[in-house]
A and B are shown apart, each in its own frame.
Chain A
Amino acid sequence: MEAFTTHAGRAVPLRRSNVDTDQIIPAHWLKKVTRDGFEDGLFESWRRDPEFVLNQEAYRGATVLVAGPDFGTGSSREHAVWALQNYGFKAVISPRFADIFRGNSLKNGLLTVVLPQSTVEALWDLVEREPNTEVTVDLVTRRVTAPGIEADFDLDENARWRLLEGLDDISLTLRHEGDIADFESRRPVYKPRTQAV
C-alpha cells in the first residue's frame, strides 16, 4: 500500500447524501478481475449528465472529494475504492462513512476523513465559489485546511500509523503466526469444516 502523509489538491463538491457503492461503481464493472481500469466506471450513471459536477471543467484534475453523509453505503465492493483511486482521488471527506467502505479505503491508502456537516457545507460553499482553491488533508497533524477553514479530524492511532508507513496488514498479522497456531490448537472439535484435509 502506498503511504499517505499529506495531500494538497483541488476539491469536488458532491452535494449528495447516501452515495451508495452501486453509484460509485455499478455492478457490471465488477466483472473485471484486476484492481485497475475502473476510472471510467466511477459514478458512471451520474456522469452521463453533462451538468454533473465531475463533468465540469472547473473540477477537472481535482483529487479531494467532499460528499454528504453516509458515503459508501451498500455493497462491500472494494472496487468502489479502486474506482475513486483510479480516477485520481486521494482523499474523501464526508460527515459519515459506511463501515465496510471506510475499512476498504484505509486498506488501500485512500484517506477517508470524517468532518462535521457544517464543515462539509463550508467546504462545498468554498470550492463552488472558488474551484481553484487548494484543500490540504494532513494525516500527520490530522487536520484539513483551506482558506478560512481549519478542521481537525479523528482517526484511530493504529490505522493512522499503518497509513503513514504504508504497511501491509497481512505481513503485520503474520508476525503473530505463533498466536494464530496456538489459537487453532484450542478450537473445539465441533466447529464446522468445509472439507477434510
Chain B
Amino acid sequence: MGRTLAEKVWDDHVVRRVEGEPDLLYIDLHLLHEVTSPQAFDGLRKSGRRVRRTDLTIATEDHNTPTLDIDKPIADPVSRTQLETLRKNCVEFGVRLHSLGDAEQGVVHVVGPQLGLTQPGTTVVCGDSHTSTHGAFGALAFGIGTSQVEHVLATQTLPMAPFRTMAVTVTGELPAGVTAKDLILAIIARIGTGGGQGYVIEYRGEAIEKLSMEARMTICNMSIEAGARAGMIAPDETTFAYLRGRDHAPRGEDWDAAVAYWRTLRTDEDAVFDHEVVIDAATLAPFVTWGTNPGQGAPLSEAVPDPASFDDPTDRVAAEKALEYMGLTPGQPLREIAVDTVFVGSCTNGRIEDLRSAAEVLRGRRIADGVRMLVVPGSVRVALQAVEEGLDKVFTAAGAEWRHAGCSMCLGMNPDQLSPGERCASTSNRNFEGRQGKGGRTHLVSPQVAAATALTGRLASPADLADVPTLAEV
C-alpha cells in the first residue's frame, strides 16, 4: 500500500524501530528561543552532557523582546534575565544565536524558513507549538516541551509515538478577498480545537497548491489550533522557487540531488488517510473569531451565535463562558463589534506578504480615531524588505505604529499587551482569555481584515471600505 507524505518523511528518519516501543526519530533541525530552553540547558549541565549537533541547532530571541527602544537595556528584569540566560547558554554550548539587534533576529518560525534552513523532507522541532509552520515546506515539524528540548539537544533524536493521518482537501479556488487565514480559521471551526488530536494533517487540493509559501505557512502554523501534531503541504515548484538561492539552501549538485528527493515527497495515489475532510473553497468568506478558543469563529457577515443554538452541552457552556468574557451578546452582527486595537504580526501573519496585503488596504487612508494599530514585522529581514518597499511609510501615514521585529502582542510576555477589557483585532493565532494581556479580548482575523477594521473601527473586510475616504479625497 502507498504511503502519505507524512509517513514518508517519518520513515526516512527512523533511527531505531522496535515492536512495543516508540520509534526513535532523527531530528534535522532544532530551533531554540529564550522561553522554553533555560531548564533544558540546565538539565544538560547537571548531567554533564553537551549539545550533540550544534550544526543542526539555531537560536533566536523573540518572545520577550520589546518592539520599541531595542537599543536600550530591557526594562523588565525578569525578561532581561531570561534573554541573558539564553546568551550565556549559547556561548557555553556553542549554539548559533541571533540576538535582539542582530540582522537575522526575529520570530523563530519566520527566521528558519527565510534562512533556507527549513527544507522539504526534514524533521524540525522547537519548544514552541507553532513549529507546525515549517510543515508548509513538506517538513515534518512539531512543537515539543522543555524535556524534549533537552532530549534533542543531548541526542538529536526523539522517541515518538505513532501518529494518524488526516487529509484536508480544499477544492476549487478561494474567492477574491478570501485569504489563507480565513481558510484555516474556517477549517478549525469545522473540525474543532480537538479534531486534529493525534493527527498529522496534510493540506491538499487545488486551492492549497495555488497558495504562496507565505500563505502555506499561515495555514500550517495554525494546525496546532485544530489540535493536530503537525500540518504539512507537499513540496512543489512554488517551494523550490522559494528556497533556491537562500543562505542555507543546497547549491550546485547538492541542489539537484535535494530536488530529486523532494519530488518524491508526495502522498502516493493508493495511500489511505485515517480521516479525510473536504472543503469547497468557493463557499468561504472572510472569517473572524467571536470566542475564546480558535474554533469559535464565523464568517464576518454573520452574527454572534446564541449559546442555546449549540447541540453539544460542552460547546454550549463554552460559548456562554466565552461571550461573558468577550462582552458580546447573541445576535449582535460581527460587523458591529468595535475594537480598540489592531495588531498585525506574529508567526502566523508577520511575513512580507502579510505586511504588503495590510498596507494595500491602508494605502492613502487613515485609521479610525481612537484606534491604535501596531504593525510588527516577523523578523529584521522582513522589516528591511518592508522599508525597501516603502510599506513602513504607508503604515505610519495611516496612523499605525511601525515596530521592531518580535512576537509582540501575540502573547503577554513583552511590553506589548492589552489592558483589561481592551478589544483587539489580531492577525495572531490564539484568542484565549488573557492571551494578549490580562483581561484583553481577542478577535483573530486576516491581515486584510485587520487593516480594514483599523480604518472603520469595527470588524470589517476590504469590501466594506467603499465609504471610507482616501486621504486624497478628504
B partners with A: yes
Kindly state whether residue B357 has any CB partner on chain A within 8 Å. Answer: no
CB distance from A175 to the nearest CB of B (A): 10
Would you call B151 and A170 a contact (CB within 8 A)?
yes
Would you call A183 and B26 a contact (CB within 8 A)?
yes
Q: Which A residues are in CB contact (< 8 Å) with B314?
A: 17, 68-69, 117
Would you call B129 and A179 a contact (CB within 8 A)?
no
CB distance from A109 to the nearest CB of B (A): 11
The residue that B26 contacts in the complex, of A100, A180, A190, with Cβ under 8 A, is A180
Q: Which of B139-147, B269-277, B334-342 contacts A (4 or more CB under 8 A)?
A: B139-147
Q: With A and B bound together, what is the CA distance between A136 and B427 in angstroms? A: 44
Would you call B122 and A191 a contact (CB within 8 A)?
yes
Would you call B39 and A173 a contact (CB within 8 A)?
no
Kindly state whether residue B157 has any CB partner on chain A within 8 Å. Answer: yes
Would you call A78 and B147 a contact (CB within 8 A)?
yes
Kindly state whether residue B413 has any CB partner on chain A within 8 Å. Answer: yes
Q: With A and B bound together, what is the CA distance between A158 and B159 in angstroms? A: 11
Q: With A and B bound together, what is the CA distance between A130 and B174 in angstroms? A: 55
Would you call B16 and A194 a contact (CB within 8 A)?
no
Would you call A26 and B434 a contact (CB within 8 A)?
yes
Q: With A and B bound together, what is the CA distance between A30 and B20 in angstroms? A: 35
Would you call A190 and B250 a contact (CB within 8 A)?
yes
Kindly state whether residue B432 has any CB partner on chain A within 8 Å. Answer: yes
Q: How many A-B residue pairs have CB under 8 A?
A: 216
CB distance from B130 to the nearest CB of A (A): 9
Given contacts A45-B433, A45-B434, A78-B147, contact A193 B248 (CB under 8 A): yes
Kindly state whether residue B465 has any CB partner on chain A within 8 Å. Answer: no
Q: With A and B bound together, what is the CA distance between A103 and B146 in angstroms? A: 11
Q: With A and B bound together, what is the CA distance between A170 and B148 in angstroms? A: 9
Q: Which of A6-14, A32-40, A52-60, A143-151 contacts B (4 or more CB under 8 A)?
A: A32-40
Would you call A34 and B193 a contact (CB within 8 A)?
no
How many A residues touch the partner, as a band? Answer: 35 or more
Would you call B161 and A28 a contact (CB within 8 A)?
no
Kindly state whether residue A131 has any CB partner on chain B within 8 Å. Answer: no
- In the complex, chain A residues 58-115 whose Cβ is within 8 Å of any chain B Cβ: 68-70, 73-79, 81, 96, 98-100, 103-104, 107-108
Name the residue on A nearest B429 (C-beta).
A74
Q: Which A residues are in CB contact (< 8 Å) with B181?
A: none
Would you call A192 and B24 a contact (CB within 8 A)?
no
The residue that A192 contacts in the complex, of B28, B148, B157, with Cβ under 8 A, is B28
Kindly state whether residue B381 has any CB partner on chain A within 8 Å. Answer: no
- Which B residues fall within an 8 A CB radius of A? 15-16, 20-22, 24, 26, 28-29, 35-36, 38-39, 42, 47, 49, 52, 54-58, 63-64, 76, 78-79, 81-82, 85, 94, 96, 116-119, 122, 127-129, 131, 142-148, 150-151, 154-157, 159, 161, 193-194, 197-198, 224, 227, 229, 248-250, 254-255, 257-258, 261, 292-293, 314-315, 317-318, 321, 411-413, 430, 432-435, 438
Given contacts A31-B413, A180-B15, 6 further A-B contacts (CB under 8 A): A69-B314, A103-B145, A157-B20, A190-B257, A192-B118, A197-B94
What are 20 of the A-B contact pairs (CB < 8 Å)? A16-B317, A17-B318, A20-B432, A22-B411, A22-B433, A45-B434, A70-B227, A76-B143, A76-B145, A78-B145, A78-B146, A99-B198, A100-B145, A103-B144, A107-B148, A117-B314, A172-B159, A179-B24, A190-B250, A194-B96
